Amino acid sequence: MILTVNLNPAVDKTCETERVQPGAVNRLKSAVSVAGGKGINVTKILRQFHMPVAAVGFLGGAGGKLIEEAMEELGVECHFTKIKGQTRTNVNLLADDGSVTELLEPGPIISKKELEEFRKQFSGCLEMCEMVVLSGSVPEGVPVGIYRQLIEECHANGVKVILDTSGEALREGIQAKPDLLKPNLKELESLAGKKIDTRELFAEEANRICEQVGKLVISLGAEGLFYIDRNRGASQEVYQEARKVKAVNTVGCGDTVVASLCMSELSGDDPETALQKAAALAAANASTMENGQINMKTYLELL
């Protein structure tokens, strides 16, 4: 069983428009709402590969109901904590020129009682899980060090952890040494505190972070994926180019990479194979309208 943690899930509203014009009326050609947020996207991908998945986190209001029903339809074992607040809605604007503009709500405020209930659900689920995926932002009311605390609890129970977050939650989480860290270039720059614009600086910062966590996969968007591992005695580095497709919606591609890496970790894939699968799956995700939804035929062809 894989456990996905969804502290700040969202209803993803994907809208198509001719162009996005700031300060003007923007008329939409279509609008579709689906279950989303980083952890939910990971969950959706894992279930497409028939992986057994349990999900915990916070859900509230009509949006929360939509997400839970979608997860149950996929066969996910749901252990969500119900909250008084409303699950947020994120808007993704897809323009005809291929650009994607994301409008992300901050999310609900979590009470102390709701947080305590979540921790109980999380602890109970650990007993049946081999891998935990921690991804996404942290809502107000939840301590910024929550991922560090959860990683420590996972390791105390012999459970592996993948971490994919940003900002202070990322800085805190690194301290607990997740088994695999998946930042993008912008998040790597945030950790470095400076712009990374040369190969030398990229290698320097990647190695510095890897010394803290052991294994690191950096997603570089259209440039591909970079893997670095310090757990095998000698340093191991692998680069994988991105698969070239006509991008329809790039939202969720990083989450797709996380889901693929999770499956590779469990199946014991070598780094080259793991990155090939992740790159192919991310490209397949980019070629579909719904984030976290891939065409298996496209994926296999790309692979």
Q: Which residues are catalytic?
A: 255
Q: Under a CB-based contact definition with an 8 Å cutoff, are residues 135 and 169 in contact? A: no
Please tell me the distance from the alpha carbon of residue 36 to that of residue 5, in angstroms, as a whole number: 13
Please tell me the distance from the alpha carbon of residue 96 to that of residue 98, in angstroms, as a whole number: 5
DSSP bridge partners of 5: 56, 134
Which one, of 240, 285, 238, 277, lies nearest residue 260 by Cα?
Answer: 277
Which one, of 26, 4, 162, lies nearest residue 93 by Cα?
Answer: 26
